[in-house]
Each structure stands twice: as C-alpha cells, then as structure tokens.
Amino acid sequence: MRFLTRHTGLSTCLALAVAAALSAPVWAGGSSFGDDDDEADEGPAYFGFVRDTSGNSIPDAKVTVGIKNRGGVVTRSDALGTYRVPGFGKDVDTKDVDVSCEKEGYKQVKTNRRSAPADAPIVETECTLQRG
C-alpha cells in the first residue's frame, strides 16, 4: 500500500511538471506577441519601447499610434516598457503613422523609428521620455 501511495504522488508531481513545462512557451511572450500572425495581410504592425533618457523601461505609459488626419489607437506599455499595435491595413502608408508616448511626471523628448524594408511585417518605434 505504501508503494502505491508513493507511486501516485510521484505520478502527480511528474504530471504537474510536464504541464508547467508545456505552458511556459505560452507565457514567454508576455503580451501575446506573434499570436496574431494571421493578420499579416493587414499591413505592418507597430511595435516599440518606451524608455527614459537613461535607457530604463517605462511601464504603463500611454502610447498613441495614429494615422495623420484619420485617428488612431491608444494602448499602454507593458511591465517591460514594450507596446504593440496590429497593422492598420495595406492602404495606410507607414510614413503617415505617428507614435507618441506620455506618462504623468514625464515629457516626450524624442521618438526613434528604426528603418526597415518596405515590406517588413513590423515597424519599430522607440519613445524616449524625460522626467519633468
């Protein structure tokens, strides 16, 4: 009887370990990055970082990704200071999309858009905020 109890306990621990190992890749991205790859026909997604002038991440900053004269989307940076907005559509020129960031106690001092090929699936823009 003692063997059966120990064997059952071992089986339970093993099952929990396997479940945890299999679920780890789901948590790895944190913000469901890559989960909407089937929307690739919608135009490039907009992704980036919100940092202070020292390079530290700024979580929970308000990020506005807007299309000139057409509106836009507002999101928040996550715990790592990253944000992501899905593409607006192939008819939207990436040059017409502006990214701005704000957080109480900070002011935006610059944005830096990394150049990428015209057909890139993502456009990266980093916002830099300064205390003050």
Which tokens sit at 129? 């905020």
Per-residue pLDDT of the chain in tens (132 residues, 90 and over written 9)? 554 445 555 455 445 444 444 443 333 334 444 554 454 457 889 999 999 999 999 999 999 999 998 889 999 999 999 999 998 888 888 889 999 999 999 999 999 998 777 777 889 999 999 998
Q: pLDDT tens digits, residue range 52-80?
A: 999 999 999 999 999 998 889 999 999 99
CB-based contacts of 97, cutoff 8 Å, min separation 6: 46, 65, 66, 67, 68, 72, 88, 123
Whether the Cβ atoms of residue 40 and residue 21 lie closer than 8 Å to each other = no
Per the structure, how many domains does the chain have?
2
- 41 with 93, same domain: the answer is yes
- 5 with 48, same domain: the answer is no
- 56 with 89, same domain: the answer is yes
- 41 with 102, same domain: the answer is yes
Whole-number pLDDT of residue 42: 77
Whole-number pLDDT of residue 39: 46
- 67 with 103, same domain: the answer is yes
Residues linked to residue 47 through DSSP beta bridges, in sequence order: 84, 124
* CA-closest candidate to residue 112, choices 99, 102, 125: 125
- 41 with 25, same domain: the answer is no
- 48 with 104, same domain: the answer is yes
- 53 with 75, same domain: the answer is yes
**How much is the pTM?**
0.66
Q: At 10, is the secondary structure helix, strand, or coil?
A: helix
- 20 with 80, same domain: the answer is no
- The range of the structural domain enclosing residue 122 comes to 37-131
**CATH (domain of 77):** 2.60.130.10
- 93 with 42, same domain: the answer is yes
Residues linked to residue 127 through DSSP beta bridges, in sequence order: 50, 111
Cα–Cα distance between 107 and 130 in angstroms, integer? 5
- 71 with 103, same domain: the answer is yes
- 61 with 118, same domain: the answer is yes
